Amino acid sequence: EKGGYAHFMIKEIHEQPAALRDTMSPHVDPENYTIRQQEMPLTREQVEDIAGITILACGTAYHAGMVGKWLFEAMARIPVEVDIASEFRYRDPIIRPGTLCIIISQSGETADTIAAMREAKRQGARILAITNVVGSTIAREADQVIYTWAGPEIAVASTKAYVSQVMVLTILAADIAHKRGRMSDEELRDYVKELLTIPDKAAKVLEMNSEIQRFAHKHFDKRSVFYLGRGLDYALALEASLKLKEISYIHSEAYAAGELKHGTIALIEPGTLVVSLVTQSKVIEKTISNIIEVKVRGAETLAVAFEGDTKAREEVKYLFTVPKTSDLFAPMLAIIPMQMLAYYMALEKGCDIDKPRNLAKSVTVE
Ligand code: M6R
């Protein structure tokens, strides 16, 4: 059932090119490079009426939501709140008229996410669910659903569900931006054309397997790992950090790189591993200056960048590269080496990877 793989997690990591393709295919027309409207949940009028978006989710799905926030704001210029479902439900939250509420959940059965969805619905929001499980509670109760077609995800650590959620958000952001006149037909064509290359590029990333395994072999004894990034790279850093801690039990934290000076840098000592995500061209230099700051304090530095990067390469000890694509699509590729890093660190430590201690696949109690 693991198809020759040692664990479901690594099998599912390798299924990501297919998960991305299967999730993308119903929504994009590969001949005309457009978005197929039959599968899109919102009409032009409905899109025009959106005053704001609230995204609710837990864990990895919340991290996908942070990518969504960035894309919706940058591309469609709609204000977005992204909230942890368990915080939202107990906060006496405010849902303004015209709010589209996007619920993200792999299982569709997470108790806090269900409760948050019901609260948003009670307050009058239109509910759009992104889920992987047909017929799940969230799929049944939402006004509309877009499915991720990742296939069953067995490992507790979410991998292929995450990239599929990000794929849906990436398509939805373009559809909304286009319908609101923020993206021309031509820009949409270029966007879809590049998006179509992502599954093959994800397959290329998987070829880094042995390089990452070697890196993990050298560094699995680390007590603490820090992940830094800005913008989409920060969203990515949060997910990379969660992956590492949940299966390898290595303490890790993700910081918006600009926050470093506001306290975190006190924790950097000789030998600390600092992983920087540097895929966003607008802020690369900024993050590189943070890399230099931790390096002079003795940190061991690893960066994840696009192929062809010349800036990060000069400053870090180790570099993992992913095929070049639009900055907007970076999370779907750059997360893959981070998932593999978590996996191989945990493997070196002899952890029970598919069933990490204290965790359940689906948190159906609050
Ligand atoms: O099924 P859901 O997407 O609602 O689950 C949400 C989280 O419980 C889940 O993503 C969790 O954080 C994973 N273990 C992360 O790998």
pLDDT in tens, 34-46: 999 988 999 999 9
What per-residue string of b and e applies to 10-38 under the rule 16 or more CB within 10 Å gives b? bbbbbbbbbbbbbbbeebbeeeebbbeee
Closest approach atom of ligand 1 to CA 156: 14
Query: Whose C-alpha lies nearest to ligand 1, atom 8?
Result: 59
Query: Which band of pLDDT confidence, cut at 50, 70 and 90, is reported for residue 159?
Result: very high
Q: Tell me which of 81-90, 241-250, 348-357 is least confident.
A: 348-357
116 C-alpha to ligand 1 centroid (Å): 15
| Cα separation values, 116 from 68, 141, 177, 210, 250, Å | 18, 12, 26, 42, 31
Residue with tokens 């952890």, as numbered in its chain: 351
**Rounded average pLDDT over 10-32:** 97
User: Does 366 score more than 80 pLDDT?
Assistant: no
Task: Answer whether 363 contacts ligand 1 (Cβ < 6 A).
Answer: yes
Number of C-beta neighbours around residue 362 at 10 A: 15
For CA atoms 105, 108, 337, 28, the dihedral sign is negative
Overall average pLDDT of the 72-95 stretch = 96
Ligand 1 atom nearest 113 alpha carbon: 4
Q: Is the CB of 157 under 6 A from ligand 1?
A: yes
- Does residue 105 line the site of ligand 1, with CB under 6 A? yes
- Distance of CA 188 from the midpoint of ligand 1 (Å): 31
Does residue 1 surpass a pLDDT of 90?
Answer: no
326 Cβ inside 6 Å of ligand 1: no
User: For atom 7 of ligand 1, which residue has the closest CA?
Assistant: 59
Give 193-216 pLDDT, tens digit per residue.
999 999 999 999 999 999 999 999
Mutate to test the pocket of ligand 1, among 12, 58, 67 (most ligand atoms within 8 A of CB): 58
For residues 18-47, average pLDDT: 95
Any ligand 1 atom below 6 A from CB of 206:
no
- Which one of the listed residues 204, 245, 286, 361 is annotated catalytic? 361
Looking at the chain, the whole-number percentage of residues with pLDDT higher than 70 is 100
**What residue owns the CA closest to ligand 1's atom 11?**
59
**Residue 160: closest CA among 307, 8, 303:** 8
Q: Determine if ligand 1 sits within 6 Å of the CB of residue 148.
A: no
* Cα atoms found within 13 Å of the Cα of residue 266, Cβ hemisphere only: 3
Q: Is the pLDDT of residue 361 over 90?
A: no
Query: Are the beta carbons of 339 and 324 closer than 8 angstroms?
Result: no
pLDDT greater at residue 309 or residue 63: 63
Site to probe by mutation for ligand 1, drawn from 110, 130, 366 as the one with most ligand atoms within 8 Å of Cβ, is 110
361 given a catalytic annotation: yes
Q: What's the chain's average pLDDT?
A: 96
Going by alpha carbons, the residue nearest to atom 4 of ligand 1 is 105
106 lines ligand 1 (CB under 6 A): yes
Q: Which atom of ligand 1 is nearest to the CA of 60?
A: 10
* Phi, psi dihedral angles at 281 (to 5 degrees): -55, -35
- How sure is the predictor about 360, in pLDDT bands with cuts at 50, 70 and 90? confident
Confidence of residue 263 (pLDDT cuts 50, 70, 90): confident
pLDDT value at residue 264: 84
Asked if 64 contacts 165 with a C-beta cutoff of 8 angstroms, the reply is yes
pLDDT for 226 equals 96
